[in-house]
Amino acid sequence: MKALLVFGLDIAMEMLSGVIALLVGFYAGRGYRLTGEKLFLYLNISFLLMGVGLAVDGIASVYGALMMKKGASPYAVLAAGELFMYAAEIAAFIVLAALYTRWKPEILPAALALGWYNPGLELLLVGLSLYVTLQAVSRVKIGESRFVVAGFSLLAVSHLSFMASSLFIPAYLLGHAAQLAGFALFLAVVLEARRSR
């Protein structure tokens, strides 16, 4: 029962994080259509990738739970969902890193082609999210982008927590909470920008 509750909470937080990431991504897409600025296209692609990755993993988890209920093994579905999420998140952070360093994101297909599960992917995500966080910190002006820095920091913390969860199980939920809080901060950025002055 307790395991089911944790599983349910995990799925709910993941889906909610995905929806928020999609909202931020769509908003950035609107910015690209209005201004034609590439920076919004990069944000649009990266947040949509994160949102789709989280949503697909969430859906796979729900489907896996239903399979378990019927007595079937859910591992293939769960692993496929997780693999998709990792590939999408790695690609998203590569696009963000490209945005902050002005690389051209030609390496994106290579990131998407990562077609196998490896615990090292989490470590790669920690590295990429820390890199993006540091780049965001270097651009902070007082009173600006504090939500963005906090958001990226929380995403980095969430990936660290997911890594630590193999040693300490509650870290898994902490990871999801940090991820959700991180995306909530990005939503706060959108709401703050939309506030009329």
Partner 1 sequence: MSRKPRSAIKIYVDILKVVRGADGRARPTKILYGANLSYERMQRYLAELVKKELLREEQEEGVTYYVLTEKGYRFLMEYERFERFARAFGFSL
Burial of 189 (0-12, 13-18, 19+ CB in 10 A): middle
Q: In the set 106, 113, 119, 192, which binds partner 1 (CB under 8 A)?
A: 192
Tokens of 31: 């910015």
Alpha carbon distance 137, 116 (integer Å): 32
43 binds partner 1 (CB under 8 A): yes
What minimum distance in Å lies between the beta carbon of 149 and partner 1?
9
Picking from 81, 52, 50, 51, the residue whose alpha carbon sits closest to that of residue 64 is 81
Report CA torsion sign: 36, 131, 177, 73.
Answer: positive
| Intra-chain end-to-end CA distance of the chain, in Å | 50
Pick the closer one to partner 1 by CB: 24 or 54: 24
* Interface mask toward partner 1 for 88-107; x: CB under 8 A: ------------x-------
183 binds partner 1 (CB under 8 A): no
154 binds partner 1 (CB under 8 A): no
Picking from 11, 84, 1, 76, the residue whose alpha carbon sits closest to that of residue 50 is 84
Pick the closer one to partner 1 by CB: 31 or 81: 31
What minimum distance in Å lies between the beta carbon of 37 and partner 1?
6
Pick the closer one to partner 1 by CB: 65 or 187: 187
Helices (H), the chain: 2-35, 38-69, 75-101, 108-112, 120-138, 146-164, 170-194
What minimum distance in Å lies between the beta carbon of 50 and partner 1?
15
142 binds partner 1 (CB under 8 A): no
Burial of 177 (0-12, 13-18, 19+ CB in 10 A): middle
Q: In the set 145, 164, 165, 177, which binds partner 1 (CB under 8 A)?
A: 145
Which residues form the interface with partner 1 (CB under 8 A)?
27-28, 30-31, 34-37, 39-40, 43, 100, 135-136, 138-141, 144-145, 147-148, 189-190, 192-194, 196-197
